Structure 1
């Protein structure tokens, strides 16, 4: 019995040594160098300017994104990073760019309409003019009454999007109470019957929309106008078009105020005429997708083959210049690795930065990368065991206020210690909760530690996310400078631990995927 007790005591201390006594303490000498470089020599806003004002929108497959590949990889080389490459991740499909965008209402009076062609739709092949028709269909049966009456028309369908005056600020920061609330485990209180009804309603609406679009093609409609989430004050949100539909119609997404005015006029029996002149271009010479990668090699002979990654998606939407989504994240991650290189802080493990593409269409760049880099035939390969962590930024321009643990309890004391250095920057919240919707999920999904930061929302959800107003002016320079310092510190600490960051148990991973 004594032997068994001694065995378990030894096992306890060995485990505790691995995860409790390894060097998780903050390296304040390195932290001082990182803060000095990041606060006094920051280039983050210049990086962001290049990605937005100078290069412009960066839809996956567009000329703008290709220009971003060239510029970012050139910067990495100029900074002295190693293994810089524009790395193909697989077939994406044809690219697309807008060359001309004009739409206006001409009857009952003239007024320009705020809008832009929907992604991957063709242009009008010159100026067109047509009568607007409101296809007020609530079911597929309702579509029948419009058959034979839509040739050459410009059509609109019902929408629930409104653009009402609000009495709350567009932009906000998290309060202390809100951040404190994030630290508790979230327990769902959803009504499964209600959720199933919502899913059913969504599917029914999608079926109606698909049936209507097919009828519009058959009828010879000249153009479709639509609107999505309303932001008010001339803000409109863009969405994915059908990238592989060779028979797609010219289609424009417009500001909800302008869309709803036409609907109101038509509903009251007023005649509305619309003219448009749009030109789009498809690119088919290179249909592959690419990521931009670069490294700072590790200095420890025993640990240099292990890797810590940081990244963000480089692609954007195209009605604006993708400033908060996601030039902000790309600029911060570029600045973080520049800080690490320029400050000369020692790094035991290799640090690799990745700028992804295809995120907006389904995390294509990061998901294809992790499958080729860390998996083989559906199973983890040797590189899987060598990655310590991946850090991601993709929640707009707001200041980092903490980090999501993605359910990894073992990291709570480690990250709380590291974030203690940033309490004066307002960043010290560590939550066990998961967050989704961006590239860290590609890593988390194959059992690797992948993390996204808690960020102040600012006006991301109300004004900039996927909108025509996602422009340089929306960036918060002070926030981005702080974010780069925090990311660089987290990466430095992870790179210099004796062991890799602890991972979630495989049992948890298996149950989570069911």
Structure 2
């Protein structure tokens, strides 16, 4: 905002002059500049209540705090709405690991969610299993022509042997035969599973911001499965998937008396990315941890060289049976003449247990809360009710939002009365960068409306909107599956996927305050504009809504896989 405009708007507010509804974006900018509460909200969700794993006491406390905050702002119908998670909650109380022989060194580690505790402090030999076809852990860096050239450094190919192709994943018979040969080895041992990864440097790291041209290319992309969309990897007939390999090994370790399992973090510079655990407590497990690649590699090399390694480990976890009932937090800014119609905004408030879950997605929850506070504090009166939802269970499979949609809206094929009353849903779940574009699930005319409503934020880098050309992930998927209009906000990367997503680096310090404050203003302005339109957002009708039949191909309206990675 220009200095002159900021002065004029601030002076008008100071003198009690009400701004016209057409000046709402300017009014919201001023209120966010004057009295932002976004970072204090984020502080509570991360520093006080993080991590916030679904079903855990920390998540429940964060939800209750958020609800109380929104009541204090004067929002209405604030409640925690239950849904059935069907699994106990879990949280980690203590994780201490070190190598005591043949060298002495602490080990950087995170406990695996829904695994049990060690029997107090244990000291035992480490062993390593090398199942046939077991893939190394970690994520490969982006390989582009430019990055490959940068890796060469402008010289000819170095005199290195060609890398062998990755062996095929094992069949069940191959894996069981190998494990049978290792039964005595694992009894009473701390077990490393799989070869140590050799993560490659990323010679051209992804920039913090994409260029305007890159965003325009995304906006103008034709329909189809876009980069970053969730697709399941293909597996040859008769061979096990990664999940099946892990489940088989987990059962083997329990049955044969292993004391603990150690997984390789598989990434550079101490980054540990912890996500799902088979069964979320339903499948028996030994105590488990993921450790930094540098620690895993050192231990593995010593073991493979024939030297005994002794490890000292104390991991204390706790299950919470009452966590099988989980919650979403909802609150309303009531509308006026169209109060029975709804515009929803939302983000998931749960996260993985690796760190305090700031970029994924406490920051999204904080942005949505701040957007509601801005609307309420500014005295704006929307025609439609604006409803916030802070979802639980997103990380396990967008469970909370799917439960809410099923309860309140139904689906295109089986609508409930509320189905016709939702204008649209706005979601934020891509980290700490400012919104630069939006995708819209619905007709192209809906994307044009979103772009028009956001045009006043061109000075902040918002480029436009398109129709969703891929299967949404995050909580947009719940609305997409139901056939309801949904808007996903795309943000500048800011190391989200490469460094923060589900990792031990996802902390308050990684959030870029100027961008997330921009996001709060933009969400508030978009929600208010949609709430005040004469008509609701356009939606697909029976002639053009994507089919629920997977055979319909890339545009089939089917559920994304669990354990997703957001684009």
Note whether the superposition's TM-score is higher than 0.5: yes
Query: CA, structure 1 residues 218+397, in 2 after alignment: closer, same or farther (shift >3 Å)?
Result: same
Give the match for residue 11 of structure 1: none
How far apart, CA to CA, are the structure 2 residues paired with 1:467 and 1:216? 26
1:510: Cα distance to partner?
A: 4.4
Q: What is the distance in 2 between the residues matched to 1:298 and 1:251?
A: 50
Deviates more, 1:144-153 or 1:463-472: 144-153
Per the alignment, do residues 459 and 201 of structure 1 end up closer, same or farther by CA in structure 2, a change over 3 Å counting?
Answer: farther
Deviates more, 1:256-265 or 1:69-78: 256-265
Pairwise CA distance, 1:67 = 0.9
Change (3 A) 1:292 1:200: farther
Q: Mapping of 1:158-237 within 5 angstroms?
A: 158-159=194-195, 161-169=197-205, 172-182=208-218, 183-187=220-224, 197-198=234-235, 203-228=240-265, 230=267, 232-237=268-273
Residue-by-residue CA offset, 1:430-454 (whole Å, 9 max, x unaligned): 2233352200110111111112111
Structure 1: how far apart are the matches of 2:287 and 2:509? 31
Q: 1:234 offset after TM fit, Å?
A: 1.1
- CA change 1:220–1:463 in 2 (3 A) is same
Q: Which residue of 2 aligns with 1:105?
A: 99
Q: Which residue of 2 aligns with 1:382?
A: 417
Supply the distance in 1 between the matched residues of 2:441 and 2:305 (Cα, whole angstroms): 52
Instruction: Classify 1:103/1:189 alpha carbon distance in 2 versus 1 (closer, same or farther; 3 Å).
Output: closer
- Tell me, in whole angstroms, the C-alpha distance in 2 between the residues paired with 1:66 and 1:351: 24
The answer to whether 1:28 aligns with 2:22 is yes
Q: Compute the displacement of 1:244 (Å).
A: 3.1
Matched-pair contact (CA < 8 Å) for 1:404–1:434? no
Deviation of 1:271 after TM superposition, in Å, equals: 1.8
Q: Does 1:78 align with 2:114?
A: no
Shift of 1:484: 0.5
Residue 426 of structure 1: CA displacement? 0.5
Structure 1 SS opposite 2:482: coil
Q: Within 5 A, what are the aligned runs for 1:147-166?
A: 147-159=183-195, 161-166=197-202
Q: Is the 8 A contact 2:356 2:507 kept in 1?
A: yes
For residues 293 and 544 of structure 2, the distance between their equivalents in structure 1, rounded to whole angstroms, comes to 44
Could you give the per-residue CA deviations for residues 210-257 of structure 1, whole angstroms, max 9, x where no partner exists? 222222112100100003452x22110012223233632101111122
SS in 2 for 1:304: strand
- Structure 2 equivalent of residue 249 of structure 1: 286
Distance apart, 1:412 and its partner CA: 2.9
Alpha-carbon distance between aligned partners in 2 of 1:364 and 1:390, rounded to the nearest angstrom: 16
| Aligned counterpart, 1:440 | 476
The structure-2 alpha-carbon separation of the partners of 1:90 and 1:177, relative to structure 1 and needing over 3 Å to count, comes to same
1:472 matched to 2:508? The reply is yes
**Mapped contact 1:296–1:351 kept (Cα < 8 A):** yes
Unaligned residue ranges in structure 1 (runs of 5+): 1-25
| Larger mean Cα displacement after TM superposition, 262-271 or 215-224 | 262-271
Of residues 47-56 and 90-99 in structure 1, the stretch that sits farther from structure 2 once superposed is 90-99
For the residues of structure 2 that align with 1:199 and 1:36, how far apart are their CA atoms? 58
The residue aligned with 1:8 is none
Q: CA deviation at 1:508?
A: 2.9
The answer as to whether partners of 1:27 and 1:493 remain within 8 angstroms in 2 is: no
Normalised by the size of structure 2, how large is the TM-score? 0.81
- SS of 2:441's equivalent? coil
Question: Following superposition of structure 1 onto structure 2, how do residues 387-402 of structure 1 map, counting pairs within 5 Å?
Answer: 387-402=422-437
Q: Does 1:462 align with 2:456?
A: no
Separation in 1, partners of 2:195, 2:543: 45
Per-residue Cα deviation, 1:150-206 (whole angstroms, up to 9, x for no partner): 11111112247434443334652111221121022154699xxx9875465984443
- Compared with structure 1, are the counterparts of its residues 189 and 509 closer, same or farther at alpha carbon in structure 2 (3 Å cutoff)? closer
Is the partner of 2:537 in helix, strand or coil?
coil
| Displacement of 1:107 | 1.6
Distance verdict in 2 for CA 1:436–1:262, change over 3 Å: farther
Tell me if structure 2 keeps the 8 A contact 1:400–1:453. Answer: yes
Summarize the Cα distance change of 1:436–1:35 in structure 2 as closer, same or farther, 3 Å threshold: same
- Structure 1 stretch displaced more, 504-513 or 489-498: 504-513
Once the two structures are TM-superposed, the CA of residue 472 in structure 1 deviates from its matched residue by 0.4
Q: What does residue 23 of structure 1 align with?
A: none
Tell me by how many angstroms 1:121 deviates: 0.7
The aligned counterpart of 1:492 is: 528
1:308 touches 1:351 (CA, 8 Å); kept in 2?
yes
- Quick one: structure 1 residues 39 and 113, their matched pair in 2 at CA, closer, same or farther if it must change by over 3 Å? same
Corresponding residue of 2:537: 501
2:375 to 340, 352, 358: 340
2:553 is matched with: none
CA distance in 2, matches of 1:160, 1:181: 38
Q: Which residue of the partner structure matches residue 7 of structure 1?
A: none
Q: Describe the superposition over 1:66-114 as per-residue Cα deviations: whole angstroms up to 9, x where unpaired.
A: 1101110000100000000011122432111111110111122011111
For residues 472 and 236 of structure 2, the distance between their equivalents in structure 1, rounded to whole angstroms, comes to: 19
- 8 Å CA contact retained: 1:227, 1:237: no
CA distance in 1, matches of 2:234, 2:81: 43
Residue equivalent to 2:160:
none
Alpha carbons of 1:60 and 1:151: their partners in 2 closer, same or farther (altered >3 Å)?
same
Residue number among 541, 557, 560 corresponding to 1:513 in the alignment: 557
Offset, 1:274: 1.2
Q: Bigger CA drift: 175-184 or 478-487? A: 175-184
Which blocks of at least 5 consecutive residues in structure 2 are unaligned?
1-19, 133-173, 548-555, 559-567
For the residue of structure 1 that corresponds to 2:381, the secondary structure is coil
